[in-house]
Amino acid sequence: MIRPILFAASRAAASTVPRQAASIARPLFRSSLLSSRHIIPAISFQGVRCYASSGGLAKEEVTGRILDLLKNFDKVTDPSKLSETSNFNNDLGLDSLDTVEVVMAIEEEFSIEIPDKEADGIHSVDQAVTYILSQPDAH
């Protein structure tokens, strides 16, 4: 929205400046110390890039990606027990080392780093989804 306004303003500014002043004036001598002429800068407009933060991840997307990750995890013996409320230990039969591996896989999947203190509290799909949704830099 702001980009067209900036382009219109730069065109208006360029049209009001005489042609002679719009070009770069070059000094007669190579050294600017020897020249008494002042260099008039060219009026130009560089392109502006506007970046916005993403809208965030939807809960359904995060849940689906975590469930797909768990379906492909070789230690999950019964994929039929996978749901949004599955507990890694009770429902899926994963031990503590397997849970750490799952959390590491979630870190890689969403390009984030989960501190050890936070990772120790993730024991179910629900908890993992809640944690991922609370992270603004998760992809």
Structure tokens at 91: 């429902």
pLDDT tens for 87-139 read 999 999 999 999 999 999 999 999 999 999 999 999 999 999 999 999 988 88
- Number of Cα atoms under 13 Å in the Cβ half of residue 21: 7
pLDDT tens for 34-45 read 555 566 665 666
Candidate list 68, 95, 120, 137, residue with the active-site label: 95
Residue ranges and CATH numbers for the domains of the chain are 59-134 (1.10.1200.10)
3-state secondary structure of 87: strand
The answer to whether the CB of 48 falls within 8 A of the CB of 6 is yes
The answer to whether the CB of 59 falls within 8 A of the CB of 66 is no
The answer to whether the CB of 62 falls within 8 A of the CB of 130 is no
- The reply to whether 95 belongs to the active site is yes
Q: For residues 109 and 103, give the distance between their C-alpha atoms in angstroms, rounded to a whole number.
A: 10
